[in-house]
Each structure stands twice: as C-alpha cells, then as structure tokens.
Structure 1
Amino acid sequence: MGLLNVRSMAKAKRAQAISDIIVQNDLDVLLTTETWLKLSNFESVLQDACPPNFTFYHQSRDGRRGGGVGIQHTTSYRGEQIWFSNITTFEYVAVVLENDEWEVPVLLVNVYFPPGYSRGEFHNFLSDFEMLLCDIDGVYDHVIFTGDFNIHVDQGMQSSTIEFYFLLKQFGLEQHVDTQTHNRGHTLDLVLTRNVDVSDLIVFDPHISDHSIVIFKLSSPNKKRKSLKKKKDKKN
C-alpha cells in the first residue's frame, strides 16, 4: 500500500506519473490526499491515474477549492464504499476491502485534515474523529486509517500531539510513521492500525508534490488477532 499527498492530480502528466508510481512500486492500493478533484472531473482523472485492472473511490471537497481524498486498488480486492454521518471537520473516503487471502475484511479510511487550524478547530476535529471511531468500534475489528492529518506528531510535547495520541490509545490504534513526510519537515502523513500488522514501511520523495510517499506492507489479517488480544488483556 502507498499513501501520498499529490497536491492536484489533474495537473499536466501527474495522473500518468501516479499510475507509474503504482506500477513501479508494485502497489495493490494507493491512497491519495489533496487530489483537488471535483465531481465534474474525478472519474476521468482517476481513470488516467489507474493502471489496468485497478478501480477507485473518491470524495471531493464540497463548494471550495482544494482537498479531495481517493483510494485506488487492484480489482483482486473487493471493495465497498461506506459513509459516516455528521463529519464536517475533515474529509475522508472509507472502503471495506476483502480478498481471497484474507480471512476477514479490513476497513480502510483515508483522511485529510487541512492545516492552519485554530485550537478550537483542532478540538472540533478530535470530536469528529472520536465520533467516527465510536461508530466503527465493535463493528469493524480490523482497521487502517491513513492520510495527511497535518498534526506534527514528531513534536511529542506539543499539546495537539499529546491529545491526538491519547485518543488513538483509547481506541487501540497504533501509529507507524516515524520520519518526516513533508519537505519542510514534520511527520504529517500517518498510518494508523488496529488488529492489522504493518511491515517494511519506507518513506521517500517521488517528486510528485511537497510530500513524500509512505509505502508499507499489510500482513494478511485473520480472525485470531482479536481473540488473542482479548486473552492477553485478560491474563495481564
């Protein structure tokens, strides 16, 4: 899987460059933020950004420039897009993915939270994100959240980082990216998981935008993960 803030997928030759990234890195899934695509053009642009045997899902920003989040995946995965109500502070696209190698489905949610927020706006984001986590809790056991959260998680003593990580801990989510993902520094593009194993995570600059791409492997999730965790918690 790969995660990349593309800062306008409709720019000249950028869709082809994104398709090339998928092929060159042998990706099954690419998650994009800041696509800047609209309802009028997202289908044609994403088709150009997909190699053969790929499909896509997208959520455009309503009524304003910028934003937009997408999920592209190989058709060897089966996907079903889902929606959550009352989310206003961030953009997301959510898909339940399955394939023949997995014993259980995985919920994949790709997020974009814009920068330049006030303290109050950040707390509103935390409230919305917590509401979404409550909605999926007990419904989807195997979860991946990705996206550009625009939270400086590399600054561990910053209050926003402390509050964000406290919320993740409450819902059993693990954050895997530990290096800067933006050309001006800071770790903004995150991979959060619950009951899913991530390995071989790398970050490098594909020269598409001002963000690096995050590439990682997802181990085949199985039904045992949750039962084993419960037994461990009980023993402790």
Structure 2
Amino acid sequence: MGLLNVRSMAKKAPVILDIILQNNLDVLLTTETWLTPSNFESVLQVACPPEHAFYHQSRDGRRGGGVAIQLRKSYRGKQIWFSNITTFEYVAVVLKKEEWKDPVLLVNVYFPPGYNRGAFNAFLSEFGMLLDHINGVCDHVIFTGDFNIHVDQGHQPSTIEFYRLLQQFGLKQHVDTQTHNRGHTLDLVFTREVDVSDLIVVDPHISDHSIVIFKLSP
C-alpha cells in the first residue's frame, strides 16, 4: 500500500500511475486530490492501471480537498458511507481477498489544516463517533490519511488527545518519521487487528508530502 497527499491530481495522473507501477502497489491512498464530481472519473482512469478500480469522495461545495482509494480489483472493494460527518473528508471501502479469513475496513481521511480549538474538538467528537460506530462491527480496520496533527510533537494537546482517542479504541499508529517537507508527521497509518510491516517514507517530489509505503495483512 501507499499513502500520499498529492496536492492536485489532475495534472499528475500519469505520475500517479507510474508510482503505482514502479512500487507494485496493490492499493494507493491519496488525499488533496482537488478533483470534482465532474472530473474525478476521467482523471482517475488515467491514474489507474487496468487491473485497478477506484473510489473517490470530492469536497462538498468548495475547492480543494478530495480523497481517493485506488486498488486492485482482486480485493473486491465495496464502498460504504457514514452519516453526520462534516469536519473531515473520507472515503471508506471494505476489502475482501481470497486468502483472507475476514474482511478489512479501510478508511482514508483528510482533516484540513488551520483549525482552531473549537474545530479540533468538533473533529475529535465526530471521529470518536465514527470509531464507536465501527467498534464491534469490524474487527480488522486500517485508517490512513493526512490528519494535519503534528504527532511528532508529543507534548501538544492535540496530539495527546488524538492518541488518547486511538488508544481508547485499540488502534496503533505506525508512522514515526516526518512526512512533510517542513518536518512534521502528518500522514498517518493506524490499525486494529491488522499487521503493518516494511513501512518506509520516500519523497517522490510531486508535492510537499512524502509517500508512505507499507505492507499489511489482517
């Protein structure tokens, strides 16, 4: 799998395709696609190898944002939606694979930067409700995305509260190095009952974020 904030996919679709092929990615998760309901299909068709399908959620009523999941069709992904989500963008897919005993819920998230205390509290409340909703429904879960929380600064109240929420629901965060060119860890991978291994962070030089590449198995 790979996770990358692309900061506009429209003009980078061939590059995204090359990233998938060169790294032999079964799944690529992107944030800040900046795609719209009118162009996401045509752009993602260029960005996907023939054996991959894609799922996308555009930002509602404003420019920017957007999240996508591109994955091999052998994973038999099924998109699902959650209600009452307004503070962050997400795309969620239930993955099934022949050799897996159980399905895996994959949720790719973008929480915009520049928030104040009230906005962060609202995010924590909504994200906590989502975690509570899936708790006990799906044992194997993986969340990815650009959360714009400086988890490398462990003393920050936002980091402490976010990690407390993850721990409450038995989730483990796996990225421990900077993913942004200003030195912060913003792009996260956290899981429950899913093993993550061989995680590396590499700068593909197409945005201000690095790509996080890893393996997983439920």
Give the structure-1-normalised TM-score: 0.92
Gaps of 5+ in 1: 222-236
- Alpha-carbon distance in 2 for matches of 1:207, 1:142: 33
RMSD: 0.5
* 1:194-232 Cα shifts (integer Å, max 9, x gaps): 00000000001011110000000002x2xxxxxxxxxxx
* 1:69-124 Cα shifts (integer Å, max 9, x gaps): 00000111101000000010000000000111111100000000000000110000
- Alpha-carbon distance in 2 for matches of 1:77, 1:121: 35
**Which ranges of 4 or more aligned residues in structure 1 deviate by more than 6 Å?**
none
Residue type of the partner of 1:184?
R
Q: 175, 199, 202: which one pairs with 1:201?
A: 199
- Alpha-carbon distance in 1 for matches of 2:74, 2:100: 12
Secondary structure in 1 matching 2:30: strand
Is 1:68 matched up with 2:32? no
1:9 shift after superposition: 0.2
- Alpha-carbon distance in 2 for matches of 1:47, 1:189: 25
Q: 27, 51, 54: which one pairs with 2:52?
A: 54
Report how many aligned residue pairs link the two structures: 218
Gaps of 5+ in 2: none
Residue type of the partner of 1:20?
D
Residue type of the partner of 1:9?
M
- Alpha-carbon distance in 2 for matches of 1:52, 1:207: 25
**Percent of aligned positions that are identical:** 82
* 1:12-35 Cα shifts (integer Å, max 9, x gaps): xx1010010000001000000000
- Alpha-carbon distance in 1 for matches of 2:31, 2:38: 18
**Residue number in structure 1 paired with 2:16:** 18
What is the 5 A alignment of 1:193-232? 193-219=191-217, 221=218
- Alpha-carbon distance in 1 for matches of 2:25, 2:98: 17
Secondary structure in 2 matching 1:215: strand
Q: 143, 151, 154: which one pairs with 1:153?
A: 151
**Residue number in structure 2 paired with 1:45:** 43
1:52 shift after superposition: 1.6
Residue type of the partner of 2:46?
D
Residue type of the partner of 1:10?
A
Q: 158, 168, 171: which one pairs with 1:170?
A: 168
Secondary structure in 1 matching 2:77: strand
1:2 shift after superposition: 0.3
Secondary structure in 2 matching 1:165: helix
What is the 5 A alignment of 1:26-37? 26-37=24-35
- Alpha-carbon distance in 1 for matches of 2:78, 2:193: 20
Secondary structure in 2 matching 1:111: strand
Q: 112, 130, 133: which one pairs with 2:131?
A: 133
**Structure index of larger Rg:** 1
Secondary structure in 2 matching 1:76: helix
Residue type of the partner of 2:167?
K
